[in-house]
């Protein structure tokens, strides 16, 4: 990354696991800032999966992850992300 | 599986991956699950696990019991002490579990057919006795797993495999049933209300007595398709449009049909001695010092 801090309006981002998505569009429909859309790619089962079409609008509120019936997407605030990664490094999941 | 952030300006190299917050609560080797695209059951699982996290529950003290059905699979996907029992018998199983080990927080998670058709008598008596368990019913208004037969919840007019000309049987209103039978906590939400449902789970997990949560959820494959109601997401949009929040509503007035309002909220929240409390206080008063209180 360059010395200049990147100008990012987005407050968070999403993580997608394309292979378990079933294309139901819950996440797209109920995202409060309407920043998700279906991409052009198909997964192995033939479903289109969501992409962050307007990344600058994502607040990382996490609602997409609460809605997704297939556990294929979740969102996170940037300010929580590094802590989550540090926690993941420190304690491998035991359950 | 790889994650993709889709945000180019974010440098995440050198740090371990973060997992979906639901993952630690799942038996991950069983994912992807068997539920159909747009089925609402998985959404309820997100809310339930988030509530377990927020309630900071000791997971070694939480047991989950399901009967048979698509919803009954929840027990098999959750990485808790899980019991997948026979059809309709989740509540008697949970009763035994709770009485044998009163420290456990016992949750029954099952479908409307399982809990209210074949299992209806058990529901009534566990509520009447105020067994200290939380019963979660994912109500999709049909028998999903077996192909869409009419259920005790199927609204009048809905078409099902066993009612090809439309249902004419009067459906049960689950919150009314639970209230009348004596449940101490009765709430209804839909799959649209993910935040409210999470909060409701958390609240109910922190209470005692027979607690009941009804969650309306789409079964796109059988209920929606047969009734030409579109996809799962169309039904969840309907829930959004038709739902009306009425905490403390009279449960006589919360029945749902194919159209009209869907009343949501917490309808009942009261205290009654649990079955164990009642047993202890009864025998203590009858037998005095000769009685040693048990659990509770
Ligand atoms: C004793 C017995 N009778 C009937 C069945 C067949 N059966 C399996 S699941 C089910 C109904 C499931 O409906 P519900 O509880 O609403 O669950 P859903 O699949 O809709 O989530 C029935 C009748 C069975 N497994 N065992
Ligand atoms: S985290 Fe929130 S804002 Fe971002 S995509 Fe998901 S629902 Fe939309
Ligand atoms: S909610 Fe989940 S399964 Fe549905 S389209 Fe979005 S990522 Fe895919
Ligand atoms: S049949 Fe219905 S309830 Fe069962 S998994 Fe499919 S959509 Fe869900
Ligand atoms: Mg059902």
What's the pLDDT tens digit per position in B99-155? 999 999 999 999 999 999 999 999 999 999 999 999 999 999 999 999 999 999 999
Residue nearest ligand 1's atom 6 by CA? B146
How many other C-beta atoms can be found within 10 angstroms of the C-beta atom of residue B62? 19
pLDDT of residue A93: 52
Is the pLDDT at B15 greater than 70? The verdict is no
Is the pLDDT at B283 greater than 80? The verdict is yes
**B16 at A interface, C-beta within 8 A:** yes
Is the pLDDT at B4 greater than 50? The verdict is no
The HSE-up count of residue B161 (CA atoms within 13 Å, CB side) is 10
Over residues A58-74, mean pLDDT? 97
H-helix segments, chain B: 41-54, 74-77, 90-100, 112-113, 120-128, 174-181, 194-205, 225-226, 232-242, 275-287
Contacts of B236 in chain A (CB under 8 A): 26, 29-30
Cβ B268 vs Cβ B182: under 8 Å: no
Over residues A7-14, mean pLDDT? 83
**A50 at B interface, C-beta within 8 A:** no
Place of tokens 């099902």: B160
For helices B120-128 and B174-181, the axis angle rounded to 10 degrees is: 40
What the block records as the tokens of A52 is 């962050």
Residue nearest ligand 1's atom 1 by CA? B87
Is the pLDDT at B268 greater than 90? The verdict is yes
Residues with CB under 6 A from ligand 3: A 21-27, 49-50, 67-68, 70, 72-73
- Whether residue A65 and residue B1 make contact (CB cut-off 8 A), yes or no, is no
Best probe of the A interface among B25, B28, B35, B42, by most A CBs < 10 A, is: B42
**B82 at A interface, C-beta within 8 A:** no
Q: How many percent of chain B have pLDDT more than 70?
A: 94
What does the mean pLDDT of chain A come to?
89
Best probe of the A interface among B1, B11, B32, by most A CBs < 10 A, is: B32
What the block records as the tokens of B252 is 């006589």
Is the pLDDT at A81 greater than 70? The verdict is yes
* Gap from A9 CA to chain B (nearest CA, Å): 11
Grade residue A83 by pLDDT with cuts at 50, 70 and 90.
confident
Cβ of B69 less than 6 Å from ligand 1: yes
pLDDT of residue B17: 74
Q: Where are chain B's structural domains?
A: 33-271
- Whether residue A68 and residue B6 make contact (CB cut-off 8 A), yes or no, is no
* Gap from B213 CA to chain A (nearest CA, Å): 18
Over residues B173-197, mean pLDDT? 98
Is the pLDDT at B7 greater than 70? The verdict is no
Give the C-alpha separation, B96 to B54, whole Å.
27
Over residues B14-24, mean pLDDT? 80
Is the pLDDT at B6 greater than 60? The verdict is no
pLDDT of residue B12: 53
Is the pLDDT at B228 greater than 90? The verdict is yes
Architecture, CATH, for domain B33-271: 3-Layer(aba) Sandwich (3.40)
Is the pLDDT at A76 greater than 70? The verdict is yes
**B39 at A interface, C-beta within 8 A:** yes
pLDDT of residue A89: 76
pLDDT of residue A84: 83
What does the mean pLDDT of chain B come to?
95
Q: Residue B111 CA: which ligand 1 atom is closest?
A: 15
Over residues B184-189, mean pLDDT? 99
Residue nearest ligand 1's atom 10 by CA? B69
Is the pLDDT at A44 greater than 50? The verdict is yes
Span B41-93, pLDDT tens digits: 999 999 999 999 999 999 999 999 999 999 999 999 999 999 999 999 999 99
Contacts of B192 in chain A (CB under 8 A): 30
Q: Residue A30 CA: which ligand 2 atom is closest?
A: 7
Ligand found nearest the CA of A38: 3
A17 CA → ligand 3 middle, Å = 9
Grade residue B28 by pLDDT with cuts at 50, 70 and 90.
very high
Q: What does B202-240 look like in DSSP terms, one character per residue? A: HHHHTS-S-EEEEEE---IIIIIHHTT---HHHHHHHHH
* pTM attached to this predicted model: 0.94
């Amino acid at each position: 990354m360059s010395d200049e801090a990147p100008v990012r309006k987005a407050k968070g981002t999403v993580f997608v696991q394309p292979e378990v998505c079933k294309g139901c569009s819950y996440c797209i429909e109920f995202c409060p800032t309407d920043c998700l859309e279906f991409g052009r790619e198909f997964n192995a089962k033939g479903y289109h999966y969501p992409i962050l079409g307007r990344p600058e609008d994502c607040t990382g509120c996490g609602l997409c992850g609460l809605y997704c019936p297939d556990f294929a997407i979740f969102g996170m605030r940037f300010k929580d992300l590094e802590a989550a990664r540090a926690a993941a490094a420190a304690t491998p999941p035991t359950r | 599986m790889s994650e993709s952030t889709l945000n180019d300006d974010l440098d995440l190299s050198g740090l371990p991956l973060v997992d979906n917050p639901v993952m630690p609560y799942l038996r991950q080797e069983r994912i992807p699950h068997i539920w159909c695209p747009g089925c609402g059951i998985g959404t309820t699982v997100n809310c339930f696990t988030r509530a377990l996290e927020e309630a900071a529950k000791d997971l070694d003290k939480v047991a989950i019991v399901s009967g048979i059905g698509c919803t009954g699979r929840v027990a098999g996907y959750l990485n808790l002490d899980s019991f997948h029992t026979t059809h309709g018998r989740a509540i008697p199983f949970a009763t035994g579990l709770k009485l044998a080990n009163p420290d456990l927080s016992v949750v029954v998670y099952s479908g409307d057919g399982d809990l209210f058709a074949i299992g209806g008598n058990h529901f009534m008596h566990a509520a009447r006795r105020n067994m200290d368990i939380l019963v979660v019913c994912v109500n999709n208004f049909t028998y999903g797993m077996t192909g869409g037969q009419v259920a005790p919840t199927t609204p009048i007019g809905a078409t099902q495999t066993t009612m090809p000309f439309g249902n004419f049987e009067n459906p049960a209103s689950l919150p009314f049933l639970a209230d009348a039978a004596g449940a101490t906590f009765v709430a209804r939400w839909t799959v649209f209300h993910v935040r409210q449902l999470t909060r409701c789970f958390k609240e109910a997990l922190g209470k005692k007595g027979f607690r009941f949560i009804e969650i309306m959820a789409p079964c796109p494959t059988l209920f929606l398709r047969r009734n030409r109601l579109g996809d799962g997401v169309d039904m969840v949009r309907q829930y959004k449009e038709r739902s009306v929040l009425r905490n403390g509503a009279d449960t006589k007035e919360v029945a749902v049909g194919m159209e009209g309002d869907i009343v949501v909220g917490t309808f009942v929240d009261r205290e009654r001695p649990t079955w164990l409390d009642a047993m202890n206080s009864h025998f203590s008063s009858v037998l005095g010092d000769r009685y040693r209180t048990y659990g509770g």
